Amino acid sequence: MHNCTTIIGVIDMRQRGISFDDCRNRFGIGNSTITLIMKRFKESGNSLDTLKQMPPEDVETLFYAS
């Protein structure tokens, strides 16, 4: 499970067209994690702005529900 800062950071970087390599280096995660975060982001139906307004715990639960 990754924290809210990583989740939102990855989404923000990818939406701005920043490469997987740069995301991996910035957050210390792999391509599969980036892909998973983006998949779950699209499935959530939320915008990045909505996620930024949510409490961090809610964002983490949305992406990594137990």
Query: Over the stretch 6-48, which tens digit does the pLDDT of each residue have?
Result: 999 999 999 999 999 999 999 999 999 999 999 999 999 999 9
State the pLDDT at residue 22.
97
Query: How far apart are the two ends of the chain, measured CA to CA in Å?
Result: 10
State the pLDDT at residue 63.
93
Q: Label residue 38 left, alpha or beta by phi (over 0 means left) and psi (-120 to 50 means alpha).
A: alpha
* pLDDT band per the 50, 70, 90 thresholds, residue 65: confident
Question: In terms of C-beta density within 10 A (0-12 exposed, 13-18 middle, 19 or more buried), how is residue 3 classed?
Answer: middle
